[in-house]
Chain A
Amino acid sequence: MSALLEVRDLVKTFGTGEAATRVLRGLSLTLEAGEMAALLGPSGSGKSTLLTILGTLMKPTSGSYMMLGQDLITAGDQELTIFRNLHIGFVFQFHNLLPDFTALENVIFPTAVREGRETTAARARGRDLLVRMGLEARIDFPTAKLSGGQKQRVAVARALMNGPELVLADEPTGNLDRESAMQVMDLIGHINREEGTTFLISTHDEKIASLCRRQLVVGDGRVTG
């Protein structure tokens, strides 16, 4: 395996002066391509901040971040938007689907927004992903009519739409019942094994974490284990 991403000495401080809060304190981390890693740690330990920085949605106060050989600290907003679209998928705790769109429309969004239209090929891939998620009967359903577990599976399908090298999942099962949570994790594991997509999953749940081959513990703004 080769390094997919590498962060060194990441520092992230929110606020200034006396109100400044240092959330990351020189965090370093390397993720190999095809890894499925869990990110554990108490609330406020900096897990979500780390995922946000890795997802290029936020820049650190200092430190370096290289992914696929590209320096993502010095890249501009436009460059990062394109990079994110092509190489990074997101799964959020509250699915965060577009409410006025169907399951399929949500899934193909990352491709359609890049190509400027919904192509036949994108629709075909979106359908295929939804079938793999066990949602063949819900393809054209408005997202408002889906259950929590179904919505999260749509979110996973959307994260995979552009075939990203990295999927960042922030508490993807935190809002689901045990059965739905296990279904989602089974899917993630299956895709990781089958397609070699790297997953970094933030969770409080030890059982969910145990399903990952690597566990990273974040504490005091660093990876401690």
Chain B
Amino acid sequence: MLYALKIATRYLTASKAQTALLVLGVAVGVFIFIFMSALIGGLAEFILSRTVGDISHVTIEAEATDPAVLISPQGHVLAVVERGRTRTATLTEAETFLPLIAAVPGVTAVSPQITGAGFLTRGAQVSQVSVTGVEPGLESAILDLDGYMVQGSARLGAGIVVLGRTLADDLALSVGQTLRLQSSTGVTAVLTLGGIYQTGTGGMDRARAFVSLSTARTLFAMPQGVTRIEIKLRDLNAADATARRISALTGLDAVPWTDGAEQLMEALDAQAQTGYFLKTFALITIVIGVASALLLSTYRRRPEIGIMRAMGAGRGFVVFVFVTQGALVGLMGGLSGAALGYLALLPFPSRDAFEPGTLPMDITQGSYGLAITLTVIGAILASILPARSAARVDPVTAIGQ
């Protein structure tokens, strides 16, 4: 079928301006496809990184045990041990599980933590805070504390506390000054402010205090174990599967970030659906463009098709000539559109450097191969109708035109 390819190529090059316009039309469709892919993909990436990028992807929390109840032989409740209001359940064997969890594929960080409530006091000023005790060296394992520091260091050590900017401002604190932290268990410690962070999230900057794990043990009278284990994954979307795997491995209740994030997932899904619609419309435009141009070409070349048929060209040959034209237009338009799309996306910041006020375009999510493949397939499908129409041309009528 080399000869059919030659005829198809000659037909396309014979009307250069018309072919160029047709290829340009296809290229614009492919450009839109790629632009939308990069935008929708980048937007999803941006939203995810802003919403769940700094939180634990899988969390293990100790399950609270039911309060003890003393029941008489007659079935009356004689006594109930009230559930502690300040003490959460403890993962006493956390140390055993940490290496196992860290070895699970896709896990990038494991952070054992002790969390609880407390009061920060400086002079007459008192603020209620949520205290998180983190292993020194793992300060930025889950939340990128280092990246949010505006003053001092995120490094936690004995007697060091790191606070959010709003809280530090409320208490008129600066790095190096001391303050008192009283935990909900009643233990008080005098701490030095080692650093101030600003995440831009109100609750985090106003009411969260980070201390070292050993300081937290003292504050919450917990000589061993932790209250929770936070786990970061390489792939956010693998959270459900990884949580199931960790649960199976440890017997602990591992909860993925997607639990309770249904609304976010629905919003992302709706956004992805919108992208599919827009891309489908772009493909339909390509198909209609190619089909109409080739139908016009078929009509214009009817006498030639008649001559070819008279000279011994079969219907299959004629079909192949026109389908090949469609495929070539699709390929040229696809490649041009993909190149244009790539060039247009180059000036946008990379996915790791999205900034507020810019379009979160992700050049790596342009779906270039998919765009080219779908365009060629679409163009081939679009050319089938004109090609069949050409093959049905009656040589006698066509030659007489």
Contact = CB atoms under 8 A, between A and B. Distances in A.
B11 A77 contact: no
Given A96-B303, A113-B3, A55 B310 contact: yes
Contacts of A65: none
A117 B307 contact: no
Contacts of B3: 112-113, 115-118
B308 A90 contact: no
Interface residues on A, range: 20 to 34
B6 A118 contact: yes
A147 interface: no
A199 interface: no
A155 B315 CA distance: 22
A132 interface: no
B153 to A, nearest CB: 75
A110 B315 contact: no
Interface in A87-103: 90, 92, 96-101
Given A52-B396, A57-B396, A98-B307, A110 B312 contact: yes
A85 B10 contact: no
A114 interface: yes
A116 B2 contact: yes
Interface residues of B, number: 24
A81 interface: yes
The interface residues of chain B, by DSSP majority, are classed as helix
A158 interface: yes
Interface string B302-328: 011011111111110100000000000
B312 A85 contact: yes
Given A85-B311, A113-B317, A57 B395 contact: yes
B310 A84 contact: yes
Given A113-B3, A113-B317, A81 B304 contact: no
B68 interface: no
A78 interface: yes
A37 to B, nearest CB: 20
A55 B307 CA distance: 12
**Interface core residue of B6, B14, B312 (most chain A CB under 10 Å):** B312
Nearest to B11: A100
A90 B400 CA distance: 14
A117 B307 CA distance: 18
Interface string B232-273: 000000000000000000000000000000000000000000
Contacts of A110: 311-312
Nearest to A168: B310
B81 interface: no
B2 A84 contact: no
A98 B304 CA distance: 6
Nearest to A89: B311
A81 B399 contact: no
A131 interface: no
Contacts of B399: 92, 96
Interface in A55-93: 55, 57-58, 77-78, 81-82, 84-86, 90, 92
B14 A100 contact: yes
B124 interface: no
B1 interface: yes
A117 B6 CA distance: 9
Given A57-B396, A100-B11, A113 B304 contact: no
Contacts of B309: 57, 81
Contacts of B310: 55, 57, 84, 90
A98 B307 CA distance: 8
Given A58-B396, A112-B3, A100 B10 contact: yes
A81 B313 contact: yes
Contacts of A77: 315
Interface in B1-29: 1-4, 6, 10-11, 14
A82 B312 contact: yes
A109 B308 CA distance: 8
Contacts of B314: 78, 81-82
Contact of A90 (B4, B6, B311): B311
A52 to B, nearest CB: 5
A114 B312 contact: yes
Contacts of B311: 84-85, 90, 109-110, 113, 158
A176 B1 CA distance: 36
A86 B314 CA distance: 13
A85 B313 CA distance: 8
Contacts of A82: 312, 314
Interface in B264-316: 303-304, 306-315
Given A84-B310, A86-B312, 6 more contacts: A58-B396, A85-B312, A92-B399, A96-B303, A98-B308, A117-B2
List the 10 shortest-distance A-B pairs measured between CB atoms, nearest first: A85-B312, A100-B14, A117-B2, A110-B311, A113-B313, A96-B307, A81-B314, A112-B3, A57-B395, A117-B3
Interface of B: 1-4, 6, 10-11, 14, 303-304, 306-315, 317, 395-396, 399
20 contacts: A57-B310, A57-B395, A81-B314, A82-B312, A84-B310, A84-B311, A96-B303, A98-B307, A98-B308, A99-B14, A99-B304, A100-B10, A110-B312, A113-B313, A114-B312, A115-B3, A116-B3, A116-B4, A117-B3, A118-B6
